[in-house]
Amino acid sequence: MRVYYSDHYEVPLPPGHRFPMGKYAALRARVRDHVVPAANFHEAPLASVDELTLAHDPHYVRAFLTGMLDAQAMRTIGLPWSPALVARTQASAGGTLAALKHALRYGFAANLAGGTHHAAYDRGSGFCVFNDLAIAARYALLADPAARVLIFDADVHQGDGTAAIFADEPRVFTCSIHGARNFPFRKAQSSLDVELDDGTNDAVFLDAITSAWQQAVARCAPTVVLYQAGVDALASDKLGRLSVSHAGMLARDRFVLGQIKASNQPAIMTLGGGYADPIDDSIAAHVGTYRVAAELF
């Protein structure tokens, strides 16, 4: 199983910032030491302008890369602009794209970043600058115009940017299982949206995941799967509002990754959100996701 990483690009953030930038390096160390051999890790390449514009407005791409986005646009993204953020963002998107290219040849790969599903065609939002899932899906369609891509988004926040980008693309099926009252507060329309009440427990969560997967596969018969494996449904997550346990997260991953394995279709996995207090809870859940993936792939 090939794993791409980009945490070596260190992005300075103000003290007390909500984005857990340190999570990524800590997670890679733990996965490398206990789950996936070090030889399987690969530095994520930087996505090029041409690759970024597979899913994004060229003017928006150039404005962000050159630091010319206005202050309001950066506030909506929620991260302060810096050259380091540019490099990290390009690497995050590049890691997902590299994972997809590997998966199309060999079956499965993962990115220890990405899942930036709030970024829309011409703007960023919610800590997301570029939508790596959308870029990868566009590449899959270029590689095979007959492909059918399933973006299965199990992060607790709706993949609104992904849904908007593919609203008129029938070859991409966007499925989002998310908190009904959580960010974004103005939802987009995915191919399939499954909304969960605050406080949703393991049983209801797993029923929703199972039903969503079955409906999505029945409706789109995917040839490529992109799995957004955010762990912010955990009960301890500061931004999650659900009540899913570590056992529930593991059961989710065993089901989804097991279905992907059984389908024998190319697939990738992105990291997605995780904002627990303490953050080690999120790291432990991400490690659990990788343990399941390593067992299967």
Could you read off the pLDDT of 95-111 as tens digits, one per residue? 999 999 999 999 999 99
Q: Are 225 and 152 in contact (CB under 8 A)?
A: yes
Average pLDDT over residues 171-193: 97
Q: What is the structure's pLDDT at 187? A: 97
Q: Are 149 and 162 in contact (CB under 8 A)?
A: no
Q: Is 107 exposed, middle or buried (0-12, 13-18, 19+ CB in 10 A)?
A: middle
End-to-end CA distance of the chain: 6
Tokens standing for residue 83: 């050259």
Q: Which residue has the tokens 């930087």?
A: 46
Residue 255 has pLDDT above 90, yes or no: yes
Task: Label residue 274 by pLDDT band (50, 70, 90).
Answer: very high
Question: How long is the chain?
Answer: 297
Handedness of CA 148, 153, 158, 162 (dihedral sign): negative
* Distance from C-alpha of 176 to C-alpha of 294, rounded to nearest angstrom: 24
Q: What is the structure's pLDDT at 10? A: 87
- Cα–chain center distance at 268: 10
pLDDT digits (tens, 9 = 90+) for 230-242: 999 999 999 999 9
Q: What is the structure's pLDDT at 173? A: 98
Cis peptide upstream of residue 37 (ω within 30 degrees of 0): no
Average pLDDT over residues 234-260: 98
* Distance from C-alpha of 176 to C-alpha of 158, rounded to nearest angstrom: 6
Q: Are 89 and 130 in contact (CB under 8 A)?
A: yes
Q: What is the structure's pLDDT at 98? A: 98
Is CATH 3.40.630.10 the classification given to domain 2-296? no
- Cα–chain center distance at 34: 23
Mean pLDDT taken over the chain: 97
Average pLDDT over residues 134-156: 98
Q: Which residue has the tokens 């079955």?
A: 214
* Distance from C-alpha of 26 to C-alpha of 15, rounded to nearest angstrom: 19
Sequence ranges of the domains in the chain: 2-296
* Distance from C-alpha of 165 to C-alpha of 167, rounded to nearest angstrom: 6
- The one-letter code for the residue type at 138 is R
Element (H, E) at 195: strand 192-196
pTM equals 0.98
Average pLDDT over residues 158-181: 98
Task: Label residue 276 by pLDDT band (50, 70, 90).
Answer: very high
pLDDT digits (tens, 9 = 90+) for 20-36: 999 999 999 999 999 99
Share of the chain above pLDDT 90, in %: 99
